[in-house]
Amino acid sequence: MRRLVVVATVLALALGALGAPPASGAPNVSGAAIRAVPFASGLDAPVAIANRKGDPRLYVAEQGGTIRIVNTNGTLVSTPVLTLAVADSGEQGLLSLTFSPGGTKLYAYYTAPGTGAITVAEYVMNGDVANVGTRRELLSIPHPGQTNHNGGDLHFGRDGMLYMSTGDGGGGGDPNNNAQNINSLLGKMLRISVTPDSPAQYTIPSGNPFVGRAGRDEIWMYGLRNPWRWSFDRSTGDMWIGDVGQNAYEEIDFAAAGRKGINWGWRNREGFHAYNGGAMPAGAKNPLLEVDQDDGSCAIVGGYVYRGTKIANLNGAYIFGDFCRSMLVGVVQRNGTVVERRDMGVEVSGLTAFGEDRSGELYAATIGGTIYKLTQGTTIPSGYWQAAADGRVFGFHGAKTCARGASGVVGVAGNSLGYRTVTASGAITACRLKHRGSMAGKRLNKPIVGMAATPSGNGYWMVATDGGIFSFGDARYYGSTGAQRLNQPIVGMAATTTGRGYWLVARDGGLFSFGDARFYGSTGGRSIPAPITGMSASPGGKGYWLTGRSGVVYAFGDARGWGNAAGRGAVIAGIAHD
């Protein structure tokens, strides 16, 4: 959800409408509006969606063991593609499916009846039906003792190899340390060639990282807990993995195309944090992002990078969700760093999987049997918080509050995940965002007057009246006015949408740009009814708002005037927008 944040008594903003221009250029999830439209219903616990070359329809795996076809109009083909006998306790069942690059063969990932072994089998397709007489079992991975953490997703890469994710074997905390054991196929991303090599049912690609050294040759990556859903970006070949967390953090892992041998850290790490006192394994890699389970998340559902054409501003953004939280989330990464992350304002309850059709349009499956199609929305949801000087925070239009700031609040910054407030002494109060440090208790030459958040939500800056900058978390320093002689004191700041720059604004509206921040105009030199008290970057990244103490809002660049609190008796202390 896009939210407007105002440190004030009142600031009323209208709901912004969004048209539907062609999806082109860089992704901008803050400017994207989506909706989830029911597409198909009547399925029995759908858990995976696949497409097939030359066929515009969707193929859906039901957890109980049946694969169904969904026509382009959302109706179900009555004859199943395949029905399998599966172990079906808890997290077991038919968990995923995919097709060979040519569409002539079907591959099913399921837990075998009786043993619960993770099984991957191949079937030759005969029209719309899998020929059971052609069944060829490629892999059977023992999974004794536990019914959970089976992983369960498989896709062909652009190299023609079959990749599949496996869970760590279950039991909580990976008691057998399978994920870090390179002689076990559990807790891994595997890569095989489906070409038989007697007596084996597959061959090992020569480029796999453990070929010719200790460790199982099938392993492509390791250190995973329960990578339930993952995908390739169809445009770049990059790999995105949704790895379900233990008790505290969910995570999304990102690997650029061709990266191999990565250790994602489990069971020593959960998200960016040590698990059970474990040390970061040598050479291990942190996730792209983490999701704190404090927000209601319980089982992350990895999605896809959107490569369709129907939703404006979304092409190149990654969409994911969570089984419990339901809210869909959009992410943009650049060089392995999150530069934008936003709740999309759309909830899909009981989310189990995402899928894409041959055109790159996205779908979301639910445990209740409905598949939704993501389509162009008509409005971007806007909500806002109001933070008063006494520390009270008020939320409107879906903006949920959860923390009262300390008395003397002078600034607030946030994103769709939550917010933080700051006082003149530099003390921080956080709502659904982690505390990354503060200036509280430290000697300040000048009081703090504002703050800005990084796009990831994992860091922030504070600014003092002389323009001195203090950076926390993943915020980086790009310069300040601290050594300059100022005609007017600094009163606020705003970060660019990339997180690689920021503006400082003075009381008369004079602007100072650092990093990749660009100048789009100001009130400097103009006669204004009241001094400027803060600023905020526009979601489009090519403009900003300035707000005056009286409530007047000045828009520059691509920022739109949505209204203001002038004449309402409000004393405005700042403005911030996700």
User: Residue 243, class by beta-carbon neighbours within 10 Å (0-12 exposed, 13-18 middle, 19+ buried)?
Assistant: buried
- Integer Cα distance of 517 and 154 in angstroms: 42
Number of Cβ within 10 Å of residue 39's Cβ equals 19
Nearest one of 431, 379, 435 to 400, comparing CA atoms: 431
Query: Half-sphere exposure (CA, 13 Å, Cβ side) for 348?
Result: 34
CATH superfamily, with its number, for domain 29-36+43-376: TolB, C-terminal domain (2.120.10.30)
Whether residue 492 contacts residue 533, with contact meaning beta carbons closer than 8 Å, is answered with yes
Say whether pLDDT at 8 is over 50: no
Instruction: Say how far residue 333 (Cα) sits from the centre of its chain.
Output: 10
Nearest one of 528, 551, 506, 505 to 386, comparing CA atoms: 551
Q: Which residue has the higher pLDDT, 24 or 154?
A: 154
Task: Provide the pLDDT for residue 517.
Answer: 92
Task: Provide the pLDDT for residue 181.
Answer: 98
pLDDT (tens digit, 9 = 90+) per residue, 88-104? 999 999 999 999 999 99
Number of Cβ within 10 Å of residue 93's Cβ equals 22
Task: Provide the pLDDT for residue 435.
Answer: 76
Task: Provide the pLDDT for residue 21.
Answer: 38
pLDDT (tens digit, 9 = 90+) per residue, 373-425? 999 998 665 555 556 677 777 665 566 777 676 788 887 887 766 788 888 88
Q: What is the percent of the chain with per-residue pLDDT over 90, rounded to a whole number? A: 63
Helix (H, G, I), strand (E, B) or coil at 516: coil
Say whether pLDDT at 548 is over 50: yes
Domain boundaries, the chain: 2-13+381-577, 29-36+43-376
Number of Cβ within 10 Å of residue 15's Cβ equals 11
- Token look-up 């505290």 returns 248
pLDDT band at 555 (very low <50, low <70, confident <90, very high): confident
Q: Cα-flanking dihedrals φ and ψ of residue 126, to 5°?
A: -120, 90
- Integer Cα distance of 379 and 382 in angstroms: 9
Q: Which residue has the higher pLDDT, 552 or 325?
A: 325
Mean pLDDT of the chain, nearest integer: 88
Task: Provide the pLDDT for residue 444.
Answer: 84
Nearest one of 469, 91, 9, 549 to 299, comparing CA atoms: 91
For CA atoms 130, 105, 72, 374, the dihedral sign is positive
Amino acid identity for residue 37 in this structure: V
- Integer Cα distance of 315 and 360 in angstroms: 10
CATH (residue range 2-13+381-577): 2.130.10.10
Whether residue 252 contacts residue 296, with contact meaning beta carbons closer than 8 Å, is answered with no
- Integer Cα distance of 458 and 88 in angstroms: 39
For CA atoms 515, 29, 564, 430, the dihedral sign is negative
